[in-house]
């Protein structure tokens, strides 16, 4: 069964737009978990545009489900109160760390690692994360075949960047993009890695991905899920996504 990790970044965006504590990131996590979510995902960025380091610490203290922290492993501390990605992760020791090569100017993640280029920098960081007991996943582009190289670096999973698949508007284009996802999933599993997926997945495109690229260990979904929750309620929306995930072994 595919596990659903709910990304809470958008809850923090709403809170930060007004200041104060509402909407409450911790309460959103409680509702999602009570509705059956298998995990919680956050992506603390150096500019603090959404999730703050204090949110990460508070979530780690309260969660009894998988905690997945995404971010750029090369991001260091700054004068805005960001302690550095690795330093933050080592402080809270999450279940999973998903390494993403995003720059500070990006609105959202939009590409995976060039593993051949970054292998030398990634290897010691992956070892550092494994040493605290975290499972390590690398964000990769759909269609890439870095499985053997990623396994050699010590990571245990890949997360397929599904944005190009989700953004297609014709059946032909969607089929081609889906085939790229499948290619990367097959390659990763052949190297002994498990496969996660995420970015722009929603109630309309999730089922086809999970059916074609099975088995997918985990999907992390935030933007579309929170959008749906604005209209249908968070608990109900989490259950709708779970129903799709639980239909796939």
The residue to which tokens 């501390």 are assigned: 77
CA distances from 129 to 73, 77, 96, 114, 152 (A): 10, 17, 9, 20, 15
CA pair distance 249, 217, nearest whole angstrom: 9
CA pair distance 130, 177, nearest whole angstrom: 32
- Asked if 41 contacts 241 with a C-beta cutoff of 8 angstroms, the reply is no
Tell me the sheet residues that pair with 40.
6, 67
CA atoms within 13 A on the CB side of 247: 13
Contacts of 234 (CB under 8 A, 6+ apart): 28, 31, 32, 35, 226
* Residues with catalytic roles: 43, 70, 199
Peptide bond into 23 cis (omega under 30): yes
Per-residue exposure over 74-94, b if at least 16 CB sit within 10 Å of its own CB, e if not: ebeeeeeebbbbbebbbebeb
CA pair distance 167, 177, nearest whole angstrom: 9
Residue 59 CA, distance from chain mean position:
16
């Amino acid at each position: 069964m595919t596990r659903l990790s709910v990304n809470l970044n958008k809850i923090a965006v709403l809170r930060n737009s007004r200041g104060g504590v509402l909407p409450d990131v911790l309460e959103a996590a409680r509702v999602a978990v009570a509705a059956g979510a298998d995990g919680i995902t956050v992506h603390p960025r150096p500019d603090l545009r959404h999730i703050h380091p204090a949110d990460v610490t508070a979530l780690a203290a309260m969660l009894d489900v998988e905690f997945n922290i995404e971010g750029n492993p090369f991001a260091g501390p700054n004068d805005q109160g960001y302690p550095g990605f690795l330093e933050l992760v080592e402080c809270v020791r999450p279940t999973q760390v998903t390494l993403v090569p995003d720059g500070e100017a990006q609105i959202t993640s939009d590409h995976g690692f060039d593993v051949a280029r970054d292998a030398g920098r990634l290897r010691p960081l992956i070892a550092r994360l494994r040493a605290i007991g975290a499972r390590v996943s690398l964000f990769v582009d759909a269609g890439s075949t870095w499985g053997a190289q990623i396994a050699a670096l010590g990571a245990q999973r890949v997360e397929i960047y599904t944005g190009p698949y989700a953004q297609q508007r014709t059946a032909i284009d969607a089929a081609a993009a889906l085939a790229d996802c499948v290619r990367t999933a097959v390659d990763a599993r052949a190297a002994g890695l498990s496969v996660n997926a995420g970015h722009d997945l929603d109630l309309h495109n999730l089922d086809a991905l999970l059916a074609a690229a099975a088995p997918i260990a985990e999907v992390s979904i935030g933007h579309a899920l929170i959008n749906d929750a604005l209209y249908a309620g968070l608990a109900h929306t989490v259950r709708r996504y779970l129903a799709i995930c639980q239909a796939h072994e």
